[in-house]
Amino acid sequence: MYTLIHQDKNSKARLGKVTTAHGEFDTPAFMPVGTHATIKGLMFKDVEEAGAQIILSNAYHVFLRPGMEIIKKAGGLHKFMHWNKPILTDSGGYQVFSLALFRKMHEQGVEFQSHIDGLKHFLTPEDVVKNQEILGSDIMMPLDECVHYPCTKEESRVAMERTIAWAKRSKDARQKDGNFLFGIVQGATYEDLRAECTRRLVDMDFDGYSIGGVSVGESSNLIYNILEMVAGLLPADKPRYAMGIGYPFDIVEAVGRGVDMFDCVIPTRYGRNGTAFTSGGKVSIRNAAYLEDFTALDPKCGCYTCRNFSRAYLRHLFNAKEMLGLILLSLHNIYFFLDLMRQIRQAIKEDKFNQFKQMFLMNYNNQICA
C-alpha cells in the first residue's frame, strides 16, 4: 500500500506513494473535502486538473443523506459522484462530536440525533465499517471518540479506551478486500495516553494510522508536539494522516514532523467567503484596496483564476453576489493547497525541505495582504 520513496536528510519529512484500488497518490498529500459527495462550488474535472489525486468524503453525512441504499443502488460512491480516483472516508466520529443535536456514547456504539431532521440513529463500529464498504471507500476510518479541549485525563482515558476497543471491533468487522482501514490515535494532549494508544494500535497492525483529536482548540505548539511525538512512534512503512489539519503553515510544520496526509474544508470555505490563500498570505478580496487592482490574485500562481482574472474583477463578483466569484476563489484555493504539496514533495526529493519551510513561512507570514 505505502512505499517510502525518500526521507529528507535534514528533517523528518518523507516522500512516499500510496497505491489503492482506484490508483496511486503521492505523499505528502492534501485531500480536498467532498463532505456531501461533492466539493462545494466546484466540478470534479476542475479539481482533478488542479492536481487532486485523492479526495475525502464523509460517511456520517452520506449515511444521513442520501443514505446507504441510494449509494448501493448507484454502485458505490465513486460511480455516484463520478470520481474515479481514490476516496478516503471519515467515519463520522468527529461529526457526531461536533454536529449532532444529541449524542450519547455507549460501549456498544454511539446514539445521536441527526442535525438535519432530528431523527435518532445508533451506529456501532461494525455499522460504520459496513457503510464504508458499501461506499467502496479506498481508505476507511473506524468509529472513534473525540473529546473536547481542555478535558481531564480521566475523560481522555475513557475516550481512548473506547476508541481502541472500537478499532479492534472495526478490524474484525471487515468483510471485503481491496480497501484499507486506518487506526486513529486519541489521547488529547496527554503524551503518555497518546503513546499508549499508539503502541496498542500499532500492535493491531492497521494499514495506516491517523492522528485524531488535534486542532480542536489547542495551541499550535501543543498540536505540533502531539504530531511529532505520535509520528515518531508509528511504523515507517505505513502512511500517517493528521485529521483536520488544514492551514498552510500547519501543514508545512506537520510535514517536517513526519506526517504524510492532510484534509480540511478550509480552501473552499474560505473561498466562498471571499478569502484567498496566496504565496504572500491571505487576501480578503472584498476590500476596497482592490477596486482598481488589475493584477492577478497571486502572480506566482498558475491556476485558471490567476491566469485569467484580476483582483478587481474578483472583488466585483463578490460585491455583486455573483456565484462565479466564490467558484473562482474556491478553485484558486484548492490549487494553492495542491501546489503547496507539489512544492513540498520536490523540496523533500532534493533534501531541501528545511530551506523550503523557512522561505515559505517567512513569505507567508510577513507579507500581510489587505
DSSP assignments along 88-153, one per residue: EEE-SHHHHHHT-SSEEE-SS-EEEE-TTT--EEEE-HHHHHHHHHHHT-SEE--------SS--H
Domain boundary among 219, 248, 264: 264
On whether both 342 and 359 belong to a single domain, the answer is: yes
pLDDT at 104: 86
The residues, ordered by sequence, that sit 6+ positions from 108 with a Cβ below 8 Å of its Cβ are 124
On whether both 284 and 160 belong to a single domain, the answer is: no
At CB < 8 A and 24+ separation, what contacts does 118-121 make? 121/63, 121/64
On whether both 15 and 161 belong to a single domain, the answer is: yes
pLDDT at 99: 66
On whether both 120 and 52 belong to a single domain, the answer is: yes
Domain boundary among 264, 290, 309: 264
Q: For residue 250, what is the domain's CATH number?
A: 3.20.20.105
On whether both 70 and 168 belong to a single domain, the answer is: yes
Dist CA 325 CA 313 (whole Å): 9
On whether both 234 and 288 belong to a single domain, the answer is: no
Domain boundary among 237, 264, 291: 264
On whether both 106 and 230 belong to a single domain, the answer is: yes
On whether both 32 and 66 belong to a single domain, the answer is: yes
Closest C-alpha to 137, from 54, 222, 43, 225: 54
Residues with catalytic function: 90, 263
On whether both 221 and 286 belong to a single domain, the answer is: no
On whether both 24 and 76 belong to a single domain, the answer is: yes
On whether both 205 and 293 belong to a single domain, the answer is: no
Residues of the chain with pLDDT under 70: 99-101, 366-370
Closest C-alpha to 361, from 256, 236, 235: 256
Number of domains in the chain: 2
Domain of 337, in residue numbers = 271-366
On whether both 351 and 231 belong to a single domain, the answer is: no
